[in-house]
Amino acid sequence: MKVAVMGYGTVGSGVVEVIEHHSDIIPKRTGGKTLEISHILDLRDFPNDPHRDLFTKDFNDILNDEETKIVAETMGGINPAFDFTMKLLKAGKSVVTSNKELVAQRGLELLQAAEESGANYLFEASVGGGIPIIRPLCQCLAANYIEGIAGILNGTTNFILTMMIEQGMSFDEALKIAQEKGYAEKDPTADVEGHDACRKVCILASLAFGKHVYPNQVETEGITNISLEDVSYIENAGGVIKLLGQIKYISDDEIAAFVSPAVVYNGSQLASVKDVFNSILVRGDAVGDVCFYGPGAGKLPTASAVVADIIDCAKHTDRKKIFGWGPGSEDYVVDYKERIEMPFYVRAKASPSEINSRFADVKFLSRKGQPSDEVAFITDIMTENKLNEKLDGINVINTIKVTNY
Ligand code: HSE
């Protein structure tokens, strides 16, 4: 079967590589069909690439090619990826993608278009890179009421935090290495400010609970405020700081979803997830906690998931997959600061007695080189709004959520 690839960056070139290098096993997985790259769409020139005859700058070459029935969209971004994908789906071609920004922002419209034309729109690579999570969540855990999901969903930030914690490397140096390794987004602020993790939270929440959650509904905070001092206090408390996406079921009409740095105690399965690895913990009422772990970014791991979707499309040309969700609503994602209770880590310029006069039950932390006018502590469980009320007038340096996953 002929397959086109739109976007020949890290992931797109990985898709071509995996299809070509695995040409022996692919027919065994597709029911005998081989995969052949028909076009590679990219505006850049690749004069020395062995696929030079396959390159085009004209999207219509793919749209109008009747033999190309499956297209991998690895361009990233909303435009022109949305227009191209919509036209392909309406033309009855199946599209597979690693583009989490597009799925999170416009997934509902694209899924509806796929539904109408009988094509597939698959996006296993959009969350967790090479980790299988979309199918397990929709199929293997289908018998559960999902109570919550917590995930380390961004490889770049997990890599940066690991390098800072374990090697004392500076933030900028660690980011540079992540970019060189092909982990980071084109604009790495999407990684470090949490937007990439936010998009993945939207996709997971939409799949788990059936209603579209949009990025602007998910309060998002990145890792730029995390200091080595915070890392040290948390280490002494028996935990680590991770950038976590959290989703909590409240009712069929309400969920909470947010992205932020979070304290994870060492007993958690999420605490040992290092480097570029991601992990997604799903809490189901019947199964309990299950964790999906693996490489969350990078050329071949992400291509592994994209090509798996291509194989699925090739194998099931007549069968429509059923991953999808319905419309969301403005008040579907609640204000977690008002509704969700948890403990918090606080670092402040204050005295222990000042803190004790405001908080009933705190656990003070210490670190090497702690200044005499600095306190750090873990609070009892409360909402974030309540925490901020209690801290009013205190010279707070940082607060971090403590997770119960
Ligand atoms: N920039 C992303 C990350 C790529 O670092 O996780 C995979 O989505």
Per-residue pLDDT of 257-279, as tens digits, reads 999 999 999 999 999 999 999 99
What is the structure's pLDDT at 169? 87
Q: Rounded mean pLDDT of 325-336?
A: 96
What is the structure's pLDDT at 168? 83
Rounded Cα distance, 201 and 4, in Å: 28
Where does 86-212 show beta strands of DSSP type E? Answer: 94-97, 121-122, 146-152
| Nearest protein CA to atom 4 of ligand 1, as residue | 297
Q: Which residues contact 9 (CB under 8 A, 6 or more apart)?
A: 74, 75, 76
**Rounded distance from Cα 335 to ligand 1 centre (Å):** 27
Atom in ligand 1 nearest the alpha carbon of residue 302: 7
Q: What is the dihedral of CA 205, 207, 210, 212, to 10 degrees?
A: 60
- Residue 310 pLDDT level (bands cut at 50, 70, 90): very high
CB 348 within 8 A of CB 395: yes
Average the pLDDT over each of 19-23, 235-239, 316-320 and give the range with the smallest value. 316-320
**Rounded distance from Cα 42 to ligand 1 centre (Å):** 21
Atom in ligand 1 nearest the alpha carbon of residue 157: 5
Task: Check if 176 is active-site.
Answer: no
Strands 146-152 and 239-251: antiparallel
Where does 90-205 show beta strands of DSSP type E? Answer: 94-97, 121-122, 146-152
**Rounded distance from Cα 76 to ligand 1 centre (Å):** 11
Q: Is 298 in the pocket of ligand 1 (CB under 6 A)?
A: no
Beta bridge partners of 3: 37, 70
Q: Is 261 in the pocket of ligand 1 (CB under 6 A)?
A: no
CB 276 within 8 A of CB 141: no
For residue 103 the two structure tokens come to: 């799925």
For residue 101 the two structure tokens come to: 């920004």
Q: Give me the catalytic one of 69, 93, 100, 200.
A: 200
Q: Which of 124, 153, 154 to mutate to test the pocket of ligand 1 (most atoms within 8 A of CB)?
A: 154
What is the structure's pLDDT at 110? 97
